[in-house]
Amino acid sequence: ATRALRKMAQRLDRVVDVTVRFHQDGPTRRVELRLNAPGHRDLISEGVARYYGPALNTALAHLESQVGHERQNPKGKVRRLVGA
């Protein structure tokens, strides 16, 4: 998990911290990832599965998708209409 999160953090500017939470509720395991970076909204992803490994992989995939979208549209950048 650490290696994958470091790789994703390099794609965003100035990542402050990453929080990884593991929850267990009966047979269900949940992994929650939260990535904080200034100038960007907090990126939160969650994976739920019977075991921690698949739940972590799901959460990492969701976070990676969010990082890709965040790089395209960072918070605070406004598109201006051309010719308006």
Measured between alpha carbons, how far is 41 from 67 in angstroms, rounded to an integer? Answer: 10
What count of other Cβ atoms lies within 10 Å of the Cβ of residue 20? 14
Per-residue pLDDT, 44: 92
Per-residue pLDDT, 47: 96
Per-residue pLDDT, 32: 96
Measured between alpha carbons, how far is 71 from 57 in angstroms, rounded to an integer? Answer: 21
What count of other Cβ atoms lies within 10 Å of the Cβ of residue 11? 12
Q: Is it the case that residue 55 has pLDDT exceeding 80?
A: yes
Average pLDDT across the chain, whole number: 83
